[in-house]
């Protein structure tokens, strides 16, 4: 038969099997957007039968990114680290991650904001008094502490609370701090004569009272710093922490 065989109105081309008991229908969709052509290859072939019992299962992935059978992928817990983040610079110890929209990844390591207390070192002394008659500043035994700044731009706030006494009316006692960086030379802090705190006993009376001494230091280092309390007396005997009354010294690192 030559020419074209046409089946109208979504008809079927039906082909029976050898004993005419079953058949295969070839059916087109109810609507097609344009004419279609099925071209058979120039070779003998058999159309494979679909296995309706086979269901495709998505393979699961393990590791930093996991997946389930439906193909959904998730990042495993406690796995994302610095190496997996897109950050514009390399970190420095003590820095924190900040949002910087104009930089690579929108994140940048930066020093903590100014005015924050980064660490506190406390020294308590309550085991007896210390006396001197020296006219030059000397260390107060047991009143020294160490602190290591996390940044060269940090400042160190020092505060001392103690009791002072001297026995000669009209005489002076003086207090100050000294600073030593990483075992190097010592820097004396405060006025060369009067230090950072001073008092004079009233005529015909001794001096006895509580004393506070503060200082905001800019050491410009990340090495260990040793701060000491020093005192001197001009004209009598100065006593630091009379009768074992407690003394307290605090050093705070303040972010720039």
User: Do 221 and 154 form a contact (C-beta atoms < 8 A)?
Assistant: no
Give residue 111's pLDDT band: very low, low, confident or very high (50, 70, 90). Answer: confident
Rounded CA-CA distance 63/141 in Å is 59
Give residue 109's pLDDT band: very low, low, confident or very high (50, 70, 90). Answer: confident
CA 77 and chain centroid, separation: 19
Q: Exposed, middle or buried by CB within 10 Å (0-12, 13-18, 19+), for 202?
A: exposed
Give residue 113's pLDDT band: very low, low, confident or very high (50, 70, 90). Answer: low
Give residue 210's pLDDT band: very low, low, confident or very high (50, 70, 90). Answer: confident
Give residue 122's pLDDT band: very low, low, confident or very high (50, 70, 90). Answer: very high
Mean pLDDT of 99-128: 84
**Closest by CA position to 122, among listed 255, 238, 252:** 252
Fold of 117-254: Jelly Rolls (2.60.120)
Domain chopping of the chain, boundaries: 68-110, 117-254
User: Do 119 and 147 form a contact (C-beta atoms < 8 A)?
Assistant: yes
User: How high is the pLDDT of residue 59?
Assistant: 73
């Amino acid at each position: 038969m030559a020419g074209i065989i046409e089946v109208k109105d979504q008809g079927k081309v039906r082909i029976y099997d050898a004993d005419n008991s079953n058949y295969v229908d070839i059916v087109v969709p109810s609507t097609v957007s344009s004419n279609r052509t099925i071209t058979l290859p120039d070779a003998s072939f058999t159309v494979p039968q679909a296995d309706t019992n086979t269901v495709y299962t998505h393979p699961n992935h393990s590791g930093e990114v996991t997946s389930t059978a439906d193909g959904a992928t998730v990042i495993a817990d406690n796995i994302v680290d610095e190496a997996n983040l897109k950050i514009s610079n390399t970190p420095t110890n003590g820095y924190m991650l900040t949002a910087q929209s104009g930089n690579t990844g929108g994140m940048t390591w930066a020093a903590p904001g100014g005015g924050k207390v980064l660490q506190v070192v406390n020294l308590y002394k309550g085991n007896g008094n210390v006396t001197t008659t020296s006219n030059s500043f000397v260390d107060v035994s047991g009143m020294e502490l160490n602190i290591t700044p996390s940044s060269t731009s940090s400042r160190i706030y020092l505060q001392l609370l103690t009791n002072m006494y001297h026995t000669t009316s009209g005489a002076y006692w003086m207090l100050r701090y000294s600073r030593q960086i990483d075992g190097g030379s010592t820097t004396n802090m405060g006025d060369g004569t009067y230090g950072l705190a001073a008092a004079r006993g009233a005529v015909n009376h001794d001096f006895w009272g509580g004393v506070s001494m503060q200082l905001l230091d800019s050491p410009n280092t990340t090495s260990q710093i040793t701060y000491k309390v020093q005192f001197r007396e001009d004209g009598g005997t100065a006593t630091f922490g009379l009768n074992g009354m407690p003394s307290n010294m605090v050093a705070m690192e303040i972010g720039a």
